[in-house]
Amino acid sequence: MASTVSVGDGLELSRLGLGCMGMSGTYGAADWDRSVATIHRALDLGVSLLDTAAVYGLGHNEVLVGRAVHDRREQATIATKFGIDRSMGHYQQAFRGQAGYVKASCDASLVRLGVDEIDILYCHRPPEDASIEETVGAMSELVATGKVRHLGVSEFDADQLRRACAVHPIAVMESEYSLWTRDPEALAPVMAELGVGLVAFSPLGRGFLTGTVDRSALSPSDFRAHNTRFVGEAGDANEAIVAGVRRFADDLGLRPAAVALAWVYAQSERLGIPIVTIPGTTRPERVDENLAASALTLPAEALAALAPLGDLVQGERYGVR
């Protein structure tokens, strides 16, 4: 069963969570029934943290998660996010945070999820149309009225995080963190000072670090088929990172995915902050594999040798060509 970790203001989370975004088409077509089966398998194993957002599939993902947990609500910790508005199209998105928008978005999420309370509500990105104080102030009112239990932010910088915490306690910050994406490390001292835990999304590099992604076979509807880390010369160069992970995995008798995930967990002590991961999958068997990886302890020499691989990465996280 999944172990747990305490973060923020007494919030207890499963150390391994489940990222649900890919169940709504980001990485190509997904199967509803198999996705629901994946969520059920996660809950069976004590993987209780389910991560979704209003923008995933334009609401589809929240509906899916809500349907999957409708008779198992007490087993699930539901985290959702507001703030990325793509009503004008994917490439004309806006990051919103006005108080009225925050409250309306929360109400819509509650309806789609079919729940009375959201366990963690995130501001998905720093708002462009409102101050941090206005946005987090509106979020705090949602806590006061019982619609939300805990607050989170996503991809904030140090100053933004401090300002948010000055308005209301922030339990967790969700940011991309993996062997090839180290950005949150610079914020770790501030997070430790403020008592904010890290929820690491894409800890397996959107699948790249597992060594199982056939880049030539990605469908046009798959975000990775156009992402600069996966395609062209940068994609070819990044294969060296996968080769490095695979080399250590072979030496240890493990899968590359297990090594990459175990590396992320191992950084918690070094950075001085609790780390939860939310690798995404649409396959029940992957939940079992990821859970096994979360219990691994890599030898110190492997951790030291893996660390420099992140310096080799080419391409932007969200770069598109």
- CATH at 40: 3.20.20.100
Average pLDDT over residues 95-107: 98
What span, in angstroms and rounded, lies between the C-alpha atoms of 145 and 147?
A: 6
CB 139 within 8 A of CB 102: yes
Q: Is the pLDDT of residue 88 over 90?
A: no
Q: What is the pLDDT of residues 260-318, one digit of tens each?
A: 999 999 999 999 999 999 999 999 999 999 999 999 999 999 999 999 999 999 999 99
pTM of the shown model: 0.97
Is the pLDDT at 145 greater than 80? The verdict is yes
Q: Which residues pair with 175 in a beta bridge?
A: 200
Q: What mean pLDDT is predicted for residues 31-45?
A: 98
Please check whether residue 261 lies inside any domain of the structure. Answer: yes
pLDDT at res. 250: 95
Cβ atoms 39, 50 nearer than 8 A: yes
Residue 134 has pLDDT above 90, yes or no: yes
Check residue 214 and give its pLDDT.
94
Helix then strand count (H, E) for the chain reads 10, 12
Q: Which residue of the set 56, 101, 122, 265 is catalytic?
A: 56
Domain assignment present for 320: no
Residue 319 within any structural domain of the chain? no
The number of C-alpha atoms within 13 Å of 124 and in the hemisphere containing its C-beta is: 21
Task: Tell whether 318 is covered by a domain.
Answer: no
Average pLDDT over residues 74-99: 92
Could you confirm whether 56 is annotated as catalytic?
A: yes
What confidence category does residue 86 fall into, taking pLDDT thresholds of 50, 70 and 90?
A: confident
Where do we find the tokens 């999958």?
281
Position 48, amino acid:
S
90 has pLDDT over 80: no
Element (H, E) at 303: helix 300-306
The pLDDT value given to residue 261: 97
From first CA to last CA, the distance across the chain in angstroms is 41
pLDDT tier at 28, thresholds 50, 70, 90 = confident
Q: Read off the amino acid at residue 84.
A: I
pLDDT at 254: 94
Residue 176 falls inside a structural domain = yes
In a domain, 202, yes or no: yes
Instruction: Give the pLDDT of residue 190.
Output: 98
Q: What range defines the domain where residue 291 resides?
A: 4-312
Domain count, the chain: 1
DSSP, collapsed to helix, strand or coil, labels residue 262 as helix
Let me know if residue 136 belongs to a domain: yes
pLDDT digits (tens, 9 = 90+) for 232-248: 999 999 999 999 999 99
pLDDT of residue 89: 74
Average pLDDT rounded to a whole number, residues 52-68: 97
**Domain for residue 317, yes or no?**
no
